[in-house]
Amino acid sequence: MTVITEIEDLRRLYRRRVPKMFYDYCETGSWSQQTFRENTTDFDQIRFRQRVAIDMTNRSTAVEMLGQEVAMPVALAPVGLTGMQHADGEILAARAAENFGVPFTLSTLSICSIEDVAAHTRKPFWFQVYTLKDDDFMQRLMARAHDAGCSAIVITLDLQVHGQRHKDLKNGLSAPPKLTPAALANMATKIGWGLKMLRTPRRGFGNVIGHAEGVSDPSSLSAWTAEAFDAALDWDRVRQLIDMWGGKVILKGILDVEDAKKAVEVGADAIVVSNHGGRQLDGALSSIRALPAIVDAVGDRIEVHFDSGIRSGQDVLKAWALGARGCMIGRAFVYGLGAMGQAGVTRALELIHKELDTTMALCGRRTLADVDRDILLVPEGFEGRWA
């Protein structure tokens, strides 16, 4: 039995247990994967200041995100096809998040539908919307999220067009998976995954199939996504979507100060500084390098959240110290889910929490309210000097 002491242990188990097609879908970035890699390696450049002989009793990592009390400033990021990483994946991940006391975000491209996740959880979750051309579908999608009691929507702005991920094309990624000889041979080695998948009825895109015109069966979905995503999206449309929802809105995929200012102008409640986990614009800055300038520009006017590259509680603390008031984790929770289902997501959250709490203590702080850039040693020129 592997003793699980870090997120990397979960990734290794996940790799053994889940079909290659879905592992590759998660563990990949676009094109050369430079941004995907730098999202994590740039974290390593930042160091902590060790402080000693400070009373470290009564510590807490509890804060608020969007006015909601959370056990730590971490939310589960929207991840499409989560229900292919493990049967009923979205429901299991949402349950782990609510038991732990952190927000869960359901992707538009989830396997379990909004209604299904709501029926199997007790607390409101966040719902992520992709911006689609079909206004009627968008209105119905938002109405469904309202009816399901979602407490915020996350509008993803960095996927107007799809970044290319080589492996997905080579593997012929689909949901449910196409049973090619290569896929079948690989799945034959993932018995636990397959048996659970056979037992669940949830194997298609739950929010879309039967809800979007012309999509009644999964085989027409890829054609639908290629056509349906709104390449013409602009800030007026973002404003319309914010009005359409009428509740709390988080704009995800901001990596530039100018866009962060626009997000403030259109009246969003929060932004997520993100490059989609390195899955969209390869060659873009890592999120952690982009964060400080955005916090400096808008941090006093909007809640700045962060994602892309978080693999530990130390990473969460670094982002927090640089001004992020919440972090989303994508792959870190998917590894846990694929490795061990709901218990694996809980384990991922426990690991991150322990690392966050212990590091905070060793930096001489008892609460996150006491943490600022002063706990960090950031190399000169970390943000880069770009002409």
Ligand X SMILES: Cc1cc2nc3c(=O)[nH]c(=O)nc-3n(C[C@H](O)[C@H](O)[C@H](O)COP(=O)(O)O)c2cc1C
Positions in the binding site for ligand X (CB under 6 A): 25-26, 39, 77-80, 107, 109, 128, 156, 252, 274, 276-277, 279, 307-310, 328-332
Please identify, using beta-carbon distances, which residue of 51 and 133 lies nearer to ligand X: 133
Please identify, using beta-carbon distances, which residue of 107 and 312 lies nearer to ligand X: 107
């927000």: which residue's tokens?
A: 103
Please identify, using beta-carbon distances, which residue of 163 and 292 lies nearer to ligand X: 163
* Smallest gap from residue 57 Cβ to ligand X (A): 32
Catalytic residue among 146, 166, 211, 276: 276
Please identify, using beta-carbon distances, which residue of 206 and 364 lies nearer to ligand X: 206
Tell me the two tokens of residue 31.
């094109």
C-alpha separations of 77 from 22, 230, 302 in Å: 17, 21, 19
| Sequence-ordered list of residues with C-beta below 8 angstroms from that of 54, at least 6 positions apart, any chain | 364
| Sequence-ordered list of residues with C-beta below 8 angstroms from that of 169, at least 6 positions apart, any chain | none
Q: Is the CB of residue 42 less than 8 Å from the CB of residue 311? A: no
Element (H, E) at 317: helix 313-321
Tell me the two tokens of residue 130.
């992709």
C-alpha separations of 192 from 58, 86, 187, 189 in Å: 42, 10, 10, 9
Query: What angle is formed at CA 262 by the lines to CA 324 and CA 386, rounded to 5 degrees?
Result: 70
Tell me the two tokens of residue 119.
């029926």
Pairing of strands 376-377, 47-48: antiparallel
* Smallest gap from residue 366 Cβ to ligand X (A): 27
Q: Is the CB of residue 160 less than 8 Å from the CB of residue 230? A: yes
CA proximity to 206, closest of 108, 132, 86: 108
Q: How far apart are the first and last CA of the chain?
A: 52
Alpha helices by DSSP H, 105-156 = 114-119, 135-147
Q: Is the CB of residue 276 less than 8 Å from the CB of residue 158? A: yes
Active site residue 166: no
Q: Which residue number places its CB atom closest to ligand X?
A: 330
Beta bridge partners of 106: 127
Please identify, using beta-carbon distances, which residue of 26 and 242 lies nearer to ligand X: 26
The backbone torsions φ and ψ at residue 163, rounded to the nearest 5 degrees and listed phi first, read -70, 145
Please identify, using beta-carbon distances, which residue of 95 and 276 lies nearer to ligand X: 276
């704009």: which residue's tokens?
A: 251
> With b meaning 16 or more CB within 10 Å and e meaning fewer, what string describes 345-362?
bbbbbebbbebbbebbeb
Active-site annotation, residues = 276
